[in-house]
Structure 1
Amino acid sequence: MDNQNRTKDGRIKWLILLIPTLTIGAWEYVRHAFLLPYISMDLGNLLAPFIVLAVTLTLVRGLFARLEHSQQALQIEKGVKAALEERESLARELHDGISQSLFLLAVKLDQLDEHSHEGPVRELAAGLRETVRVMHEDVRQAIANLREPPSPAAAAWIVPLRVLLGETAELTGSKAEFVWTISDDGLTDKEKVELHACVREALMNVRKHAKASHVYVVGETDGAGGFRCTVEDDGAGFNGDPLNTRGRFGLRMVRDRAEAMGWEFRAERKGGRTVVELLKRGDGKR
């Protein structure tokens, strides 16, 4: 595809160079062969630059537009290719590093369990094994997401969130509801990436800690260019400030991402539910 674009761009460049020259040559031939009895030499010389200008504003200008469009498409293609290569590299690092380390840790925990006959030690090993299992599953999911090329279809970035919500409900035995009215063209590519990451992290937090019977994901616009996105559950919730709890990094990551985007972040217990909210205030323009 890259070579085809380069060949196409080369042809356009040659046409841009040749068309003015061919135009002058064609005009001189027509003038001397057919128009000399009607148009004087001085008038012909005067008309020549205007004819070249007219051709430039029509044919050559169109060729420049096509060349610019081709260059933009080439840059987008290079960007996508670079992003895919980076995603593959990250996936490979996760697989070769963290994933294999977790596997070896699980094997060592199995060995500890086999050689231990004390109840507390066996319970501790079982708890650690479950933690490692969840972490390993998260890493595998991250690898799968990195190696899956992003789809150009409209709102394709929302689909993994629905899938993750369904998996969360299935794993925790809860009921799930997904309501999304934020239009795909209402967000920039950067906003889609960050909002996806925030909602995913909030759902993973529910999956690991909440023990909820109902989980809700709601995304809605405010009619003025902004949006409100919430992840709610009726699970165990949290004690105190969840952003200052040791070993709980998920909500801090969501807060940091939101603040970097200029969004408002809120995490609280409300009416027996844990609510994680992201809010982008609109500017009134539509």
Structure 2
Amino acid sequence: MSYKQIKWMILFIPTITVALWEYVRHQFLLPYISMNLGNWLTPVLVYLVSITLLTQLFRILERIQKELEQERSAKVALEAREQLARELHDGIAQSLFLLSVKAEKLESDFSSEQHQQNVLSIRKTIHEVNRYVRQAITNLRLEREESQMVKSNHSSLLQQIKFMARDLRTPMEIQWDLKDQQLDDKEMVELIACIREALTNMDKHASATAGSIRATGMSHRWKVVIKDNGTGFTGDPFEKVNKFGLRIMKERCEEMGWVMNMYRQEAYTIIEIRKGAYA
């Protein structure tokens, strides 16, 4: 019996029961049952039918609903596994292959300058692999966490940022006025990755005691500002040898057509990501 058939039976059985009872009562039972007694027997009859028949139908309906929920959960789990497999293949597997090629080249090249460049290239690739692993694990944690959260009016972007900020040692003030609908899927993925990298760097290296994240704008132009009162930096941070995370983040922004700036203002370090001509 299908789900739809059960619903229609639950709706029509009480109606048909009352109709048949009233027909039989008026056609055959009026000499034996008074009008008042018949009126009292009608709800009793409907109650008995509901207890005996409808209860069984409700149990079948609940069982079908439970099976549908289990199938839906299995489908979600399968999609999560497929997504993780794609991330592992596209990020880690390819990066490790590239790392092996560069390692073989390093063994055959003993030029001091070229040797140093190859070492830095390998270190950058290792950093990328580490970032892919960390991002994949964080995404799985977010999916598990969000599945347990009560639905609210907050955007999924804001939820993910709050989740990331919760794991930081630095207290963060969040003001997020950019709606999910104003970004496409790729923009959301890349923006979250950039924010995660910025927060990770701040938490590990800045020794900040306070920070903030602010986002404003619309679909065609917006600005995200990440600010902290940490130790800061000197010179151009993107030219430093070991700052692979910052360079990768800047490359992400350039690929998306965004502008990324990192600068000091008074006692604060500011990372600014902009799309379009946003003042």
Provide structure 1 residue ranges, at least 5 long, that are not aligned to the other structure: 1-5, 45-51, 53-59, 167-175, 223-227, 240-244, 257-264, 279-286
- Cα gap change, 1:197/1:104 in structure 2, threshold over 3 Å: closer, same or farther? closer
Distance 2:94 2:260 in 1: 35
User: Given the superposition, is the C-alpha separation of residues 15 and 190 from structure 1 closer, same or farther in structure 2, using an over 3 Å criterion?
Assistant: same
Q: Distance in 2 between matches of 1:97 and 1:203?
A: 19
Within 1, Cα distance between the matches of 2:101 and 2:224? 42
CA distance in 2, matches of 1:13, 1:98: 51
Q: 1:99 aligns with which of 92, 97, 111?
A: 92
In the TM superposition, what are the counterparts of 1:124-273 in structure 2 within 5 Å?
124-148=117-141, 149-151=143-145, 152-154=147-149, 157=160, 158-163=162-167, 165=168, 176-180=170-174, 198-205=191-198, 213-214=206-207, 217-218=211-212, 230-233=225-228, 234-235=232-233, 248-251=250-253, 269=263, 270-271=265-266, 272-273=268-269
Distance in 2 (alpha carbons) for counterparts of 1:98 and 1:221: 28
Amino acid aligned to 1:125: N
Q: With the length of structure 2 as denominator, give the TM-score of the two structures.
A: 0.52
- CA offset digits 1:147-198 (Å, max 9, x no partner): 45433333874334433x46xxxxxxxxx3334588xxx9988699987863
Change in Cα spacing, 1:249 to 1:217, as seen in structure 2 (3 Å) is: farther
Tell me, what secondary structure is at the counterpart of 2:212? strand
Q: Which digits, 9 at most, give the CA deviation of each residue in 1:214-268, with x for residues without a partner?
A: 455535899xxxxx974224345779xxxxx998343457887xxxxxxxx9967
The alignment-based identity, stated in percent, is 7
Distance, in Å, in 2 between the alignment partners of 1:30 and 1:141 is 75
Residue number in structure 2 paired with 1:108: 101
Contact in 1 for aligned 2:172/2:212 (Cα 8 Å): yes
RMSD over aligned CA atoms reads 5.3
Separation in structure 1 between the aligned mates of residue 90 and residue 193 of structure 2, nearest angstrom: 23
TM-score (norm 1): 0.51
Work out the CA distance in 2 between the residues paired with 1:219 and 1:27: 70
- Note the residue ranges of structure 2 that are not aligned, 5 or more in a row: 40-45, 47-53, 151-158, 217-222, 239-246, 275-279
Does 1:23 find its partner at 2:14? no
For 1:197 and 1:161, how far apart are their aligned partners in 2?
Answer: 17
Task: Say yes or no: does 1:86 pair with 2:90.
Answer: no
- How many pairs are equivalent? 215
| 3-state DSSP of counterpart to 2:122 | helix
